[in-house]
Structures are given as structure tokens and as C-alpha cells.
Structure 1
């Protein structure tokens, strides 16, 4: 079983880690590009790093910040924003940290570093094809990237995520992704307390057994500015945050994992995972959790859920095939949803191929119409099902 897909970004980052590590005393002008071949020959074991303990409680506000004693870490935010002129934007913003050694050698170079940070921003505007993106990748040296505790913050160059007020239960955060290309600045206020992933009851709740610890803030009110083509627009909307840390996931294995995170009407959120064999055979195994308006969680397992794709998309660039539109039913809730992508071409352009896309949700709950929006992340199907 692979660890959660929210840590797939850690694998993606690794493609460039070895090249940066081997720079030694050389300056930034000598920095080579990412190398997947180098990654394959590098040992990213967890020896010497702190191991995730299954019964360790999540602690706030400290756990909003970095966990440098662990091998890897990911802050992942996504959501839907609306401007004052009726425009709609869906975004994903991630900051990833990978430590290189538990006991690094002492090196005199001021460019020497024991961690690599990667940032990525993707932005989709409704009614326009394709996805805009920007990226940062650098070492934690000379203040180019790092994390702080007063206030709690993590940054990479001119991108940052900070937690200035220190509130543990309903935190305020500030996201800044400046620079050329798409840009984003948001002030965030949590509408619900953090929810440890183990409390969702997914994958048996054995998150510690997967080598990671995680929590989510499934609904944060957002206000700020989106900039596309040099034109800033005031926006507001709703944002979801995942934060995970622990052991780096393996890139191999026979099991794929699809993940669904949907913000629904009435301040409810739905998160689902679905295990499947990479070769497309066998039975898919789903699990879902519904987060109620008061933060309480209702969990549902395999026999209580129907979750099946009804549309697939073939990437013209890689030839990979992904399930991108889904029907979800939980009869005990009288819940039926269709999840449809805003645009089909939302394949992540990375060494690890996944489809990470914004979706709209429409359906009914208890006889009433319900709608929402969110994100699906799915690995490619190695064998395309017949008739699609």
C-alpha cells in the first residue's frame, strides 16, 4: 500500500534533490537541472530521522509549522476563488521540504544545505483551456528557503505560508506566491478546527503505519488577490489545507491510490480515498468520510460506497490514461454526486505522473439538491479499460 497521495509531491521533488546536494561549495550558477536517473541511484531511507509514532497526538499551534526532524513534509492548499466581475479561479499551492541526511557532514560553504524546498502554484480560470503554473526549487541556504517558529512560517524565495496569530483551533494564515506568471496572495481564516487524518477513519486509520502524520483544515475563508497576465483581481472563496510529515513514500508498488476532497454546500466536506491495482485488475476499494458543519466526522467503508469513473482522459503528451469524471453514491446518506473536471488537461508535468484536477460536484443529499467543488488526484491506469 502506498502512503497518502498528498505526499506524492515529495516523490516529484526528489527528481531534483541529488543534483542540488552534489553542488557542494559551488555557487548557484553551477546548479544543474533535475535528474531522475540520479534519484534512482540515491538512498532516501529514513535512518536517523524521527519516526512517526501512531499514537502521537497532533499538537497545535506547533504542528502548523515545520518538522525538521522528519525526512519529508508537505503543505498543500487548494480551493475555488471568485472575483468581483464574476470570474472563477481554481488553484493549488504546495510547499514541500525534503531533508537530505539525518546527520549531515560539516561543510564550510555558505551554499551548503541539508534540505531542499519546492513550491508549486497552478491556476485555472473558468472558461479558459489549460492550466497556468509557476514553480520554485532551491536549497535551504542563505535564507533562500526555510521555516521559522516566531511567527510560524515556511518560505521559498518570494513564496511563503505564515501563521502569524498562533491560534491553535481556528488559525489565521497568509499565503503569498509572488513573481512573474500567475501570482496569488490570500488571507485565510479557518472555519473549523484542524482534523487529524487518523480521525477520518480512512485506510483503517493506520496513518502512523504508513510512516506519516497528517491533518487537514477543510474549510478556510479566503480573501486576497489573483494576478494573471499582469492583471490583479480581488477575490474571495474557500480553501482546503493538507499538512503531512514523515517518511518519504516509495515510488513503486502494485497499488494505486485515488484521492477526492470536496467542499459541499451547508459547510460540509467529503474526503474519499480509493485503492486499486496499478494494472487495472481487481476490485477498487473505497473509503469516505463526511465532515459535518460542526466538525464531527462520519466514516463509511467499502460496502457502503459506490465510486466509479464514467469518463477517462488520454494525455496527448505522455499517453497516460486517467479516470477524470466520477459518480459517487453513499446510499445510507441518500447522497449521490457527479464529479466533473473543469478542464480535462490537468496532468501534473512531473517525474511522477498524476492527474491533479479541480472538479465541480453536483447531485443530491437527502432529496435536496447539493453542489460543491474540490480536487481529485489520481494515478494513471496502466491498462486502459475496454470500451473507453
Structure 2
């Protein structure tokens, strides 16, 4: 992307937060593009978006909106909406008051405020919450209200810091889908910070991976999958991929993909023929200690052997040797953890709907 077509341009900024310093950060974001900054905690992701929002001033470098430098402008003059990780809703205000407060400060005419309110609350399905206070809302509802408040000012750039991290797994899936729909529908230029590769690959048009205060790789989801530049990027991205060849259609209309030692099926994509790359998230993989029965045409079953088990709090990450190495990430309540041991044989169930296809 050329600098001339970028809505947001971050040019070589160095910014500190406490003793931590993010260095030489550069990237551009085009009109309507969703740009994701991905990395583990403590790598400087939030420090970078706070610099864009105007909360922290860079020691070096510059930030531009539509080619105009904003590095030294206060936050209220940047036409940027920032949703922090804790949402920062005003507890003493109703949802309606939270949504409209910034519009009133900007002296937007009342009829226009009501028009925006109707559109935003309808799109986010929060009209029924208008008279409630934040403490009366679930985490998912608070997240939608915080996003709605940001959209009410019709910002040039939307910044979202870990927008789904406070939600439980089932709510994450619902809100993630809704967020993707809203961002795409409004064609809004956005930057999302996350530590979650599922968020990054679901929401992002391009992704920047950060490590120790620097961007170590940047590209489309497909580029990161196919060509990770380091072991860190490859391990952190963590998405499963299988290389195969499309070879015909099954009796029930699914496309057959031949792998070295087995076949899998996927939804029929007329544009995909020949060599393909199949990807799916570790969280999409289910494990069974015995051969599953009653599995219909909605899933693939791969027999494999466990080579690694990593416990991560309430999550367990399991490495499997199937026809190709894959990883499953499970809730510790989903399966008998004591039976997940290195060398044990299990069956990996991969839903067809979870598979993404790249040429």
C-alpha cells in the first residue's frame, strides 16, 4: 500500500510506557482495512495503540491521518475512537447517555444524534439496553455498548484493545462474528490489538506480529501461515494447516482433498482445484479417546498419537501426529485430562465448517 492511499500511517515511532519501550514501529492502514496487532502480553501492543490514540506521545517518529501529521495533537482533535480493554463505560450514566455523551460534547445536532443512535443500536442489537446502567449489563453487552459509543462519533480510525479478552468462550464467538460484520458493513478503518490468533485471523485483513517491542513480521493471514519468518512467529500464530490436492467430489457433494496418508472432505468451492492449503484453528479440533460413532458428513476424523501436552490454566494444548502434525486446544473440562498423555492414541474431529481453504 502506498503512503498516499493510507488513512493511517505510523512512521518509525518509538514510544515508552514505564520502563518498557516499543521501538521503530511502522505500518499503514488503508480505507476500510482491519489491521491487527498480534502478540503475547507485554510485547508493546497497547503501548502502540495508545500512541495512535494520543494517550502516550512518541519519543521519535510520526503518525498521520490522511497525510496530516497528528503526532502532537491532543486525543480529542484526532478523530480517532479508542475502546480500551476494560471498556471504560461511565458507571453513573445509562447506556443511552454513554452512547450519546461524545456527540453532545461535539455539539452534533439532536436529530443527527438520534439517527446515529437508531442505526448503531440496531446494528449491535442493544436497543433494549438503552435505559440500563453498565453494572446491569453482561460482559458481552458492555463490549457492544463500548463499541457502539466509539461508532457514534463516526471516527476516521477505530482502535480496539483486546476487545474480546474479557468474554467467555461462547460469547467470544458470537461477539467476534458480530464485530466482523459491523466493521465490514461500515467499511471503517480499524486497528485491533489482540493476543488471540483466532481473533487475528478472523478479523484481520493484515496482521503485524510483535515480539519484545518490535514488529517482527507483517502480512496477510495467508502470508503468515505460508511463510513465517521465525520460529516465534510460527509457534505463536499456531494455526493448523494441511497441504493437499483437490481430487473430485464425494457422493454428498463435498470436495475431496487428498493428503499424503488419508483423505479429508470440505465444503465445495468451485474456485479451488489442484493444490490447496487447508487451515483450521486448534480451538476447532475436538478429541475423542475412542473411535467416534455417529459422525456424519459435517466433520473429518483423523487418528493420531499425542506427542505433547501443555497445560495453560483452564486450557490444554495437545500436539498430535496425524497424517500431518496438528494441534488441539481444549477446555480442561471437555475431556479427561489424566488420559491425555504422550504416546496415547486419540481421534481428532475437525468440523468441515471450520476449514478454510487457500490456493
TM-score (norm 1): 0.25
Greater share of residues in strand: 1
Greater share of residues in helix: 2
Bigger Rg, structure 1 or 2: 2
